[in-house]
Structures are given as structure tokens and as C-alpha cells.
Amino acid sequence: MSAEEELNTVGVARRAVDGAESQRASRAWWDADADDYLAEHASDIGDLDFVWCPEGLRESDAGLLGDVAGRAVLEIGSGSAPCARWLALQGARAVALDLSGSMLRHAAALGASTGVAVPLVQAGAERLPFADASFDAACSAFGGVPFVAEPDRVMREVARVLRPGGRWVFAVNHPMRWMFSDDPGPEGLTVVQSYFDRTPYVEVDEAGDATYVEHHRTIGDRVRDVVAAGLVLDDVVEPEWPEGRERVWGQWSPLRGALFPGTAIFVCHRPWT
């Protein structure tokens, strides 16, 4: 049974969604979809790998987090936690946090089967259950950020738990993708809605309750959230589609990737003073 069937999804609504409803929907969706998602994408993300995005950019090549050996690193929206396990193999004291219990059960099973177990924490990104200045770095590869109604709260929470000088790197759908449908083929090359329309994408059940929610913010919104949290934005990485990569991953494809970016990676740090 698909997640849509399990959650009785019947259609799409255009309306506002607050933080509580968004979190309920995300927890239910990823609990229902974890098995199918990992069955489809296990080969893309690996068990002991850190892949930032569907373009295939790896942390082993990009080095966006810097040297993590001996450092405490928090992964937010970890899913089955392949990135956290990769960080552990590099000598980091990695912690994986996710909203979904089903995803974390997969993470625990993979920790046992690979022999690389990391601490697992179930919580939302807007309220991190850690003390101030607990981590040397934090990361999120398409994790919690696109699914929260108040991403500014996530930025403030990350700033709080980072030690001075700590890096925060997060990958999200490139904001300009909001203008296009989620079609990897030719129909996905036509603008269908305004870049400035921040109404979330909401799937609903027969009662009108959200079963899946994804939120849009512009590039400017993302920058303002980072800066307002007291963080410094060092870079915005827009990975190009690699030549010869034929993999289609959801809305990402060679056709679209040759024309416009699909991912934006924000590289930030907490200042020393």
C-alpha cells in the first residue's frame, strides 16, 4: 500500500498550513512512505555515503563541512542516516535527528547491519532537544528545512546549538523550481506558477486535513532567515548536472538539469563573537 493510500490522500489544496499541521503531516507521511522511499532510492543515497542532492554531489568531493574528525556533528532530517554514518566513518561524533519513527527504525537497522551505529533522536527541526553550543557543525541534505512552516525557527535553533565558528550546511530544492511542475520530462520545462507565490503544496484527505506538505521560500527568504538567526552566509552552491549522468530522481533529470538548477546548498557558520 502506498503512502497516499494509507493516508487516504484524495487531492491537492491551496491554502496556508501552520507549523503544527505541517509537522503532523510530515511525521505521518514519512512514517507511511519510509519503506517505499528507501526501496526506490537506497542505491542513490547508499548506506555509508553522504550525497547532498540528486545531482550526485558528495561531501567527500565537496568538503562543505570541512574536517569533521573529532567534531560533534548534527544531521537534521537524517532519514535512514547514511550521511551521519559516513560522518562517523570520518571520525565525527555524529548524531542523526529525524521526525519519522519509521525512518529511524531503518537507521537503527542499517547501523546494526553496517556496524556503524550513530545516536538517533526523534524530534522536529524547529525544536532541537539539545543544549546550547552542543555541536561543532550541523547539516541537512534535503531533510527538515523544506517541510517546515517556519524555517526561520530552524535557523535560530541551529544557531543556538552550534558552538562559535560552527558550520551549518543545508540543501533544499532550488527555489526557482517552484515555478515548474514536478515533471522530469518536457512538460516540466514550462512555468506554471509564480516564483513569489509562497502558498505551500498541500495534499489532503477527505476531511481536508493535510497528508503531505512542502513549503516554498525564495532565495531572498532563505538568506534573510540565515542572517536573522545571527549566522553568516558563506556561499550558495548550485550543483550543475554532471555530464553523462542519466539518472532520473523524482523531478530531477538530465533534461531539466542541463537548463536550470535543481538544488541550492547554503553554507553558513556561527560567528566567533
CATH number of the structural domain spanning residue 108 = 3.40.50.150
What three-state secondary structure class fits 44? helix
Q: What does 64-107 look like in DSSP terms, one character per residue?
A: TT---TT-EEEEES-TT-HHHHHHHHTT-EEEEEES-HHHHHHH
- Confidence band of 273 (pLDDT split at 50, 70, 90): confident
> Whole-angstrom Cα distance, residue 231 to residue 218?
18
**What are the C-alpha distances in Å from 20 to residues 24, 91, 126, 210?**
6, 36, 11, 11
Q: Which helix (H) or strand (E) holds 139?
A: strand 135-141
- Per the prediction, the chain carries an average pLDDT of 97
- Confidence band of 146 (pLDDT split at 50, 70, 90): very high
Answer yes or no: is pLDDT of 136 > 90: yes
How many CB atoms are located within 10 Å of the residue 130 CB? 17
- Confidence band of 25 (pLDDT split at 50, 70, 90): very high
pLDDT for 23 equals: 96
pLDDT for 258 equals: 96
Please compute the mean of the pLDDT values over residues 151-163 and round it to a whole number.
Answer: 98
Identify the CA nearest to 256 among candidates 205, 186, 178, 153: 186
> Whole-angstrom Cα distance, residue 73 to residue 96?
9
Host domain of residue 80: 3-270
Q: What is the pLDDT of residues 90-122, one digit of tens each?
A: 999 999 999 999 999 999 999 999 999 999 999
Please compute the mean of the pLDDT values over residues 216-242 and round it to a whole number.
Answer: 98
Do residues 57 and 85 touch, judged by C-beta distance below 8 A?
Answer: no
What three-state secondary structure class fits 13? strand
Q: How far apart are the first and last CA of the chain?
A: 52
> How many residues in total does the chain contain?
273
Count of structural domains, the chain: 1
Answer yes or no: is pLDDT of 261 > 90: yes
Largest CA distance in the chain: 52
Answer yes or no: is pLDDT of 14 > 90: no
pLDDT for 272 equals: 94
Q: What does 213-236 look like in DSSP terms, one character per residue?
A: EE----HHHHHHHHHHTT-EEEEE
